[in-house]
C-alpha cells in the first residue's frame, strides 16, 4: 500500500462521499518535504460540503490530527499539508525491499498476457543508424518494464531485408564489388557500393534497369540473386550482432520484411473478398476518408505490394502466433500516418484487436542542435560511436581510479550505459542532443553519475561489513538529513514502474534513478556513514543496501548494467 493510499484512506474515513481513488488522484507531493509529505487540495470538496476550501482544510486538520497515520496535519489556506509518521512507513518500505529483493516493484498485473514489441529494425546492408539506436534502447526498456509487471514481452526485430535497394546493391556488387573487402567490413563496403550506384546512375540510367532486373530475379527465386541476398543479409547480421552484444539486447524474433512475402497475397485476397479494395489510377487502395486519412495504398500499378500490405500481414501473423494483449511499434514519429492507416484498415477488415496496436514514436538525435544525418558517401556508424565512448570512458577511469580491476569491462559498461541513458533520460518524443563529453560526466543527469552512485554505495557496504538483520527499524537515524527523502523515494518505485509502462515512457524510470541517486549523494555528503556506534553504522548501511537494490534494478530496466566499482 502506497503512502498516497494510506493518506487517502484516512481522509475518506472522514469525508464519506468521496472515494479513496478520487482522493489519491488529487493528492500532490510538495516540492519540499518541509511542506509535508503530501498535500490535499480541499477546493475539490467545496461544492459537496458547501463550505470554503479554507474552512474545509481547518476542519480536516482538527479531525486528522487524531489519526495514527499522521505525525502532523497543517491547514494552509485551501490546502491540507500532511506529515506522515515516519518510523512505521520506513520499516514497511525496508522490510518489503528486503523481502522482495530485485523483485521489489514487480507485479503480476500482466500475468498470462503477451506484449509484442517491434523495435530496432535496421536495414540490411546499410549502416546501423542513430535512429535505429533510439528504437532499440526505447523498445528494449519498455520490454524490460513490461516483464517487471508480469507480461511476456516478445522483442521483434523487423529487419529491412527486402526491396528494390537489393537490386541496386546486386548491380553495384557485380560491377565494382570485392568479396574479400566485403567480408572484412560488410556494412561499410556495402554502403560504399550503394552510394556509388546512385552516383553512377545519375549519368547512366541503364543501371536502374539492371537493378530492376536483379530484383525481379530475386522475387522469382533466382538462385544467383538469392545467394547474393542471403550473403548480404548474413554478413549484415553478424555486424549488427556486435552492436546488440554491446547494448546487451536480444530478440525473440528476427523475422524481417522478406518473411512476409508469401503472406501478403492472402491479405489482398481478403480485402477483395470483403469489398474493401478499390482501384485508383491503376493502383489498388483501401478508402479511409471516413477516418479523415488518405487512402491506404495496397498494390502499385505494377502489382508490387507496399509497406501497408506487409504490415497488415505482419500484424495478423503476430496476433495469430502470440495472441498479444498489446502490440507496440517503436518507430520514429514520421511513421505516425502509416500506422494510423494500418490500424484503420484492420478495423475495416473486422479485427477488433487492432485497438491493442500502438505506435510508440520518438524524436530525432541531434548533433550541435541539428538532425544527425548520413552525409554523402559517409555515415556516422553506431559501432564506431560506441567504441569511442568506451575508449573515452576507459581514459576517464584511468585518471580517476588507475588501480581499478577490470578497467576494460567497467569502461564498456560506463561507455555504453552513457549512450543509453542519454537517450532515455528525457521524454522519448523529445529530440536528443548527442555530445560525448556531456554524456560521460560523472555529475549531473548522466548514466555515469547514477552508475558511480551505485558503485560508491556498494563500496560503502563492503568497507562497513554490512550484515543483513531482521530488524528494519531505523530508530534515531530517521532524523538524519535526507533519510526520510530516501525512504519516500524508495517507496514510490513500484508506482514509477507502473506509470512507465502505462505511458510507454522509460524516461520516468531514468528521472527516478537520478532523483534517488541525488538524495543518496546528499545524504552521503552530510553524514559519515561509517561513524558512531556499530549499531548506528549498521542502520545506515541497511539504508545504503536498499538504495543499491533499487538503483541497480532501475538501471536494469533501462538496459544499463551497474558496476560494483568504478
Same domain, yes or no: 542 and 432? yes
Cα distance between residue 59 and residue 62, in whole Å: 5
* 211: confidence class by pLDDT, cuts 50, 70, 90: very high
* 376: confidence class by pLDDT, cuts 50, 70, 90: very low
**90 near 474, Cβ under 8 Å?**
yes
Cell 546488440 locates to 244
Residue 174: pLDDT over 70: yes
Cα distance between residue 216 and residue 347, in whole Å: 33
Q: What does the pLDDT read at residue 370?
A: 75
Q: What does the pLDDT read at residue 304?
A: 57
Handedness of CA 137, 142, 147, 153 (dihedral sign): negative
**Is residue 73 assigned to a domain?**
yes
Same domain, yes or no: 401 and 492? yes
Q: What does the pLDDT read at residue 306?
A: 81
Cα distance between residue 3 and residue 515, in whole Å: 18
- In the chain, pLDDT over 90 holds for what percent of residues? 79
* 305: confidence class by pLDDT, cuts 50, 70, 90: low
Same domain, yes or no: 521 and 412? yes
Q: What does the pLDDT read at residue 302?
A: 64
Residue 560: pLDDT over 80: yes
**315 near 329, Cβ under 8 Å?**
no
* 470: confidence class by pLDDT, cuts 50, 70, 90: confident
Question: Which of 192, 207, 239 is at the close of a domain?
Answer: 239
* Residue-wise pLDDT tens digits, 93-127: 999 999 999 999 999 999 999 999 999 999 998 88
User: In the Cβ-directed half-sphere of 331, how many Cα atoms lie within 13 Å?
Assistant: 23
* 164: confidence class by pLDDT, cuts 50, 70, 90: confident
* 367: confidence class by pLDDT, cuts 50, 70, 90: confident
Same domain, yes or no: 66 and 167? no
Same domain, yes or no: 77 and 171? no
Q: Based on the structure, what is the number of domains in the chain?
A: 3
* 372: confidence class by pLDDT, cuts 50, 70, 90: low
Same domain, yes or no: 542 and 401? yes
**Is residue 10 assigned to a domain?**
yes
**Is residue 493 assigned to a domain?**
yes
Q: What does the pLDDT read at residue 378?
A: 45
Same domain, yes or no: 414 and 523? yes
* 413: confidence class by pLDDT, cuts 50, 70, 90: very high
Question: Which of 388, 378, 381, 443 lies closest to 411, judged by CA?
Answer: 388
**Is residue 501 assigned to a domain?**
yes
For the chain, give me the number of helices (H) and strands (E)?
A: 22, 13
3-state secondary structure of 486: helix
Q: What is the average per-residue pLDDT within 551-559?
A: 98
- In the chain, pLDDT over 70 holds for what percent of residues? 98
Cα distance between residue 79 and residue 526, in whole Å: 32
Question: Which of 179, 206, 239 is at the close of a domain?
Answer: 239
Q: What does the pLDDT read at residue 523?
A: 97
Cα distance between residue 260 and residue 320, in whole Å: 14
Q: Show the domain range for 9.
A: 3-84
Work out the mean pLDDT of the chain and round it to a whole number: 92
Q: What is the average per-residue pLDDT within 116-144?
A: 92
Q: What is the average per-residue pLDDT within 197-204?
A: 94
Same domain, yes or no: 403 and 536? yes
**Is residue 474 assigned to a domain?**
yes
Same domain, yes or no: 505 and 409? yes
Cα distance between residue 5 and residue 41, in whole Å: 16
Q: What does the pLDDT read at residue 33?
A: 82
Extract long-range pairs of 475-482: CB within 8 Å, 24+ residues apart. Answer: 475/539, 476/536, 476/539, 477/536, 477/539, 477/540, 477/543, 478/86, 478/87, 478/90, 480/523, 480/526, 480/527, 480/540, 481/522, 481/523, 481/526, 481/527, 482/519, 482/520, 482/522, 482/523, 482/526, 482/527
**Is residue 290 assigned to a domain?**
no
Q: What is the average per-residue pLDDT within 65-91?
A: 94
CATH number at residue 41: 3.30.1360.70
Same domain, yes or no: 75 and 214? no
Q: What is the average per-residue pLDDT within 177-192?
A: 90
Q: What does the pLDDT read at residue 256?
A: 94
Return the bridge partners of 55, or none: none
**Is residue 137 assigned to a domain?**
no
3-state secondary structure of 153: strand
Q: What is the average per-residue pLDDT within 176-201?
A: 92
Same domain, yes or no: 492 and 396? yes
Same domain, yes or no: 56 and 194? no
Q: What does the pLDDT read at residue 357?
A: 98
What letter would DSSP give residue 564?
S
Question: Which of 204, 239, 274 is at the close of a domain?
Answer: 239
Cα distance between residue 43 and residue 63, in whole Å: 18
**Is residue 449 assigned to a domain?**
yes
Q: What does the pLDDT read at residue 365?
A: 85
CATH number at residue 465: 1.10.730.10
Cα distance between residue 168 and residue 374, in whole Å: 19
* Residue-wise pLDDT tens digits, 217-272: 998 899 999 999 999 999 999 999 999 999 999 999 999 999 999 999 999 999 99
Amino acid at each position: 500500500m502506497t503512502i498516497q493510499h494510506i493518506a487517502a484512506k484516512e481522509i475518506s474515513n472522514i469525508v464519506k462521499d468521496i472515494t479513496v481513488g478520487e482522493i489519491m488522484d488529487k493528492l500532490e507531493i510538495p516540492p519540499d518535504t518541509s511542506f509535508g509529505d503530501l498535500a490535499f487540495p480541499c477546493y475539490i470538496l467545496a461544492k459537496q460540503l458547501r463550505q470554503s476550501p479554507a474552512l474545509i482544510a481547518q476542519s480536516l486538520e482538527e479531525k486528522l490530527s487524531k489519526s495514527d497515520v499522521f505525525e502532523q496535519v497543517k491547514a494552509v489556506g485551501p490546502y491540507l499539508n500532511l506529515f506522515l509518521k515516519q518510523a512505521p512507513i520506513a520499516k514497511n518500505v525496508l522490510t518489503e525491499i528486503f523481502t522482495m529483493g530485485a523483485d521489489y516493484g514487480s507485479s503480476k498485473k500482466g500475468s498470462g498476457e503477451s506484449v509484442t514489441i517491434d523495435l530496432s529494425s535496421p536495414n540490411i546492408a546499410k549502416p546501423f543508424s542513430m535512429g535505429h539506436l533510439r528504437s532499440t534502447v526505447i523498445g528494449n526498456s519498455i520490454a524490460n518494464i513490461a516483464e517487471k509487471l508480469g507480461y511476456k514481452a516478445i522483442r521483434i526485430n523487423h529487419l529491412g531485408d527486402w526491396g528494390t535497394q537489393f537490386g541496386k546493391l546486386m548491380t553495384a556488387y557485380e560491377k565494382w564489388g570485392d568479396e574479400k573487402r566485403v567480408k572484412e567490413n560488410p556494412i561499410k563496403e556495402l554502403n560504399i557500393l550503394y552510394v556509388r550506384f546512385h552516383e553512377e546512375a545519375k549519368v547512366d540510367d541503364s543501371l536502374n534497369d539492371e537493378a530492376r532486373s536483379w530484383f525481379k530475379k530475386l522475387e522469382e527465386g533466382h538462385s544467383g540473386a538469392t545467394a547474393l541476398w542471403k550473403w548480404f543479409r548474413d554478413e549484415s547480421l553478424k555486424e549488427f550482432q556486435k552492436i546488440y552484444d554491446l547494448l546487451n539486447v536480444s530478440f525473440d524474433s528476427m523475422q524481417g520484411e522478406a518473411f512476409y512475402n508469401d503472406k501478403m497475397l492472402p491479405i489482398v485476397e481478403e480485402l477483395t473478398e470483403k469489398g474493401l479494395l478499390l482501384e485508383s489510377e491503376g493502383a489498388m487502395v483501401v478508402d479511409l476518408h471516413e477516418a479523415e486519412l488518405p487512402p491506404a495504398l495496397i498494390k502499385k500499378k505494377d502489382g508490387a505490394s507496399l509497406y501497408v500490405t506487409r504490415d497488415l500481414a505482419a500484424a495478423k501473423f503476430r496476433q495469430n502466433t502470440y495472441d498479444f494483449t498489446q502490440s507496440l511499434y517503436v518507430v520514429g514519429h514520421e511513421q505516425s500516418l502509416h500506422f494510423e492507416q494500418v490500424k484503420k484498415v484492420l478495423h475495416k477488415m473486422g479485427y477488433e484487436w487492432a485497438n491493442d496496436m500502438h505506435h510508440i514514436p520518438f524524436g530525432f538525435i541531434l548533433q550541435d542542435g541539428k538532425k544527425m544525418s548520413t552525409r554523402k558517401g559517409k555515415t556516422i556508424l553506431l559501432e564506431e560511436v560506441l567504441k569511442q565512448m568506451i575508449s573515452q570512458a576507459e581514459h576517464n577511469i584511468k585518471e580517476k581510479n588507475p588501480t581499478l580491476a577490470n578497467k576494460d569491462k567497467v569502461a564498456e559498461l560506463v561507455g555504453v550505459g552513457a549512450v543509453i541513458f542519454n537517450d532515455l533520460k528525457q521524454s522519448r518524443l523529445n529530440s536528443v542532443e548527442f555530445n560525448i563529453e556531456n554524456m560521460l560526466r560523472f555529475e549531473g543527469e548522466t548514466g555515469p553519475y547514477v552508475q558511480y552512485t551505485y558503485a560508491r554505495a556498494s563500496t560503502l557496504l563492503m568497507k562497513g561489513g554490512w550484515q543483513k538483520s531482521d530488524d528494519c527499524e531505523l530508530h534515531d537515524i530517521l532524523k538524519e538529513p535526507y533519510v526520510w527523502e530516501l525512504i519516500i523515494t524508495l517507496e514510490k518505485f513500484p508506482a514509477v514502474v507502473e506509470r512507465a509502462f502505462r505511458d510507454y515512457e522509460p524516461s520516468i524510470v531514468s528521472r527516478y534513478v537520478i532523483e534517488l541517486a541525488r538524495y543518496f549523494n546528499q545524504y552521503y555528503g552530510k553524514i559519515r556513514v561509517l561513524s558512531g556506534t556499530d549499531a548506528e553504522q549498521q542502520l545506515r548501511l541497511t539504508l545504503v543496501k536498499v538504495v543499491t537494490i533499487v538503483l541497480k534494478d532501475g538501471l536494469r530496466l533501462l538496459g544499463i548494467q551497474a558496476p560494483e566499482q568504478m
